Amino acid sequence: MTKELYSIRMRAARGGQHISGAERLTGPEGIEELAAALVRRALEHEKGRPDTLHLAVDAVAPEALRTGRLPDLRTLRVTDFRQGRAAARQLLIEAGVSPEAVSCAMGPLAAGAATGGGSMRGAMLVDAASGERLEADSDRGVRASRMDLSPEAEAELRHRLARQGLDNPHVREALVLAGKVLAAPGLVAELCWSDDPGYVAGYVAAPQLGYVRLTRLKPAGEERGGRAFFVRRPECDLQQLIAFLEEVPMLFTEIGQIGAAADWRE
Ligand code: AMP
């Protein structure tokens, strides 16, 4: 990858329902291949063929680029999604989210947080104390964007994840996304489970916990998923936070520890 970087963003939908999305950074020599891979991914998604596919390629201003280290990752094994959600609740409370705010996020995520009961394109923004939903548009939400791994960090991450049987695009991309989210000012924690019906794992991430992967956060076959970003108010300037998440390019050049899996204990 050269110093010249481009952001590539993909978003696919059918009938107004979000199907898939991706956020990557690449040098000019990688644009064509990456764009083709993202288009293929959108067309072959297990949720079906999209009727709308957006691909955006934007040059990144070199002076705006931030670099960072990925959070440490560990896995907690849970027996089913109910235990997974109980574990997520406890971890979020440990991270500083109020029990009310956890409920205000988990309820909509389970029911479909977009207005029609489907999945949002981005994340809910939730006040970590009151649970109030703060995003301006509850179909779009807030999208963490313009982040990726340097080629060296990607190789090392893949090597370390492979030792734990976790080297797959779901884990890699979610870890990079959580890395950017945790670097955001005023961010307390993140909760995520996928909207891919076949992918039942999810995670809680927080600055003091790192990325805690939970093996089940939803039942198999469930299409409703999403993300909640919990923020500390009133200190947190929402406009600044959203501008950071959506606009500031961030390249992870260092990776964190990848821990072995352990059983969840209350
Ligand atoms: P995924 O992990 O790709 O299955 O995405 C699960 C959910 O997370 C989606 O339904 C969106 O609501 C949300 N999401 C996906 N990508 C982003 C992103 N870049 N920023 C914020 N939220 C996202």
Dump pLDDT digits (tens) for 95-146: 999 999 999 999 999 999 898 888 899 999 999 999 999 999 999 999 999 9
Predicted confidence band at 57 (pLDDT cuts at 50, 70, 90)?
very high
The string of pLDDT tens digits covering residues 173-191 is 999 999 999 999 999 999 9
Q: Is 118 in the pocket of ligand 1 (CB under 6 A)?
A: no
Predicted confidence band at 69 (pLDDT cuts at 50, 70, 90)?
very high
pLDDT at 1 over 70: no
Residue nearest to atom 17 of ligand 1 (CA): 122
Ligand 1 centre from 226 Cα, in Å? 6
Q: What is the pLDDT of residue 43?
A: 96
Q: Is 227 in the pocket of ligand 1 (CB under 6 A)?
A: yes
Q: What is the pLDDT of residue 3?
A: 78
Ligand 1 centre from 257 Cα, in Å? 24
Cβ–Cβ < 8 Å for 37, 169: no
Predicted confidence band at 16 (pLDDT cuts at 50, 70, 90)?
confident
Strands (E), 29-146: 52-59, 66-69, 73-77, 124-127
Ligand 1 centre from 235 Cα, in Å? 26
Q: Is 225 in the pocket of ligand 1 (CB under 6 A)?
A: yes
Instruction: Give the torsion through C-alpha atoms of 61, 154, 168, 216, to 10 deg.
Output: -80
% of the chain exceeding 90 in pLDDT = 89
Q: What is the pLDDT of residue 240?
A: 95
Q: Is 177 in the pocket of ligand 1 (CB under 6 A)?
A: yes
For residue 196, the ligand 1 atom closest to its alpha carbon is: 4
Cβ–Cβ < 8 Å for 121, 112: no
Residue in the structure block whose two tokens are 């979020």 = 92
Which residues does residue 58 pair with via DSSP β-bridges, in sequence order?
7
